[in-house]
């Protein structure tokens, strides 16, 4: 956990406004296990902070259930996690040492869900989602591929076709939205009570309403 203390002193605790938040900084804990209370004790007892320095922690199954999101420092309180970017960023720490291992699938799912909410809520550009090592000299967050995370966040969402509350991934061709016919028919059959039959030989879908087709 390097590059946390500014000029040898614990960062000053200050409040901020939502519009002050411009970045998200990603960290790894550089430990095999941990949770918000583990890091809070370290930051308070050994570094002299008033609270844990991170705003969010994503557990890896060792210290908290795999993929569990824990809230740390209140988001409108300046963080203590990255020299030079504490005032205008949100600190997110994934438990694990990514110089030796990689985050779990559950951690990455939680991370993407969190980042999608944060960039929308605070109007943060995906280009402003940074690794700790992109703002100061540190090995954190190990081999976490932050560039790939930025790329995935910048892609437009997959178009959806919603049938009776069930979403099906679609594709836009020209100005039209298309959905896979087999999946669409299965949803209609399951959720709407119609009788749907698919003839693989003739490739004809038969949808029966009552006694007719």
In whole numbers, what is the pLDDT of the chain averaged over residues? 86
Tell me which H or E stretch contains 58: strand 56-58
Residues forming beta bridges with residue 178, ordered by sequence position: 171
Question: Does residue 193 surpass a pLDDT of 90?
Answer: no
144 with 164, same domain: the answer is no
Distance of CA 95 to the CA centre of its chain: 14
Instruction: Give the mean pLDDT of 180-204.
Output: 73
73 with 129, same domain: the answer is yes
User: Where in the sequence is the domain holding 69, given as residue range(s)?
Assistant: 18-154
Secondary structure percentages of the chain, helix, strand, coil, to 5: 25, 25, 50
The number of distinct structural domains making up the chain is 2
170 with 148, same domain: the answer is no
Task: Classify residue 5: in a domain, yes or no.
Answer: no
CATH code (residue 121): 3.40.80.10
The Cα-based distances of 22 to 76, 89, 95, 97 in angstroms read: 12, 6, 24, 27
Q: What is the pLDDT of residue 2?
A: 46
110 with 168, same domain: the answer is no
Q: How confident is the model at residue 88 (pLDDT cuts 50, 70, 90)?
A: very high
pTM score, whole prediction: 0.73
Q: What is the pLDDT of residue 93?
A: 98
**52 contacts 39 by C-beta, under 8 angstroms:** yes
Range of weakest confidence among 25-29, 92-96, 168-172, 173-177: 173-177
């Amino acid at each position: 956990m390097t590059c946390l203390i500014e000029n040898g002193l614990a960062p000053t605790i200050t409040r901020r406004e939502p519009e002050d938040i411009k970045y998200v900084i990603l960290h790894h804990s550089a430990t095999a296990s941990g949770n918000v209370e583990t890091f809070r004790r370290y930051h308070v007892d050994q570094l002299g902070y008033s609270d844990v320095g991170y705003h969010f922690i994503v557990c890896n199954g060792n210290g908290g259930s795999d993929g569990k999101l824990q809230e740390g420092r209140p988001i409108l309180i300046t963080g203590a996690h990255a020299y030079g970017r504490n005032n205008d960023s949100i600190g997110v720490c994934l438990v694990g040492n990514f110089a030796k291992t990689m985050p779990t699938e559950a951690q990455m799912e939680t991370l993407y869900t969190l980042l999608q909410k944060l960039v929308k809520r605070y109007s943060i550009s995906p280009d402003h989602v940074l690794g700790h090592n992109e703002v100061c000299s540190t090995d954190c967050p190990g081999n976490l591929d932050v560039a790939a995370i930025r790329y995935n966040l910048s892609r437009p969402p997959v178009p959806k076709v919603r049938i009776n509350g069930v979403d099906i991934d679609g594709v836009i061709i020209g100005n039209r939205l298309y959905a896979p016919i087999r999946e669409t028919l299965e949803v209609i059959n399951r959720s709407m009570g119609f009788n749907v039959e698919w003839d693989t030989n003739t490739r004809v879908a038969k949808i029966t309403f009552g006694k007719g087709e």
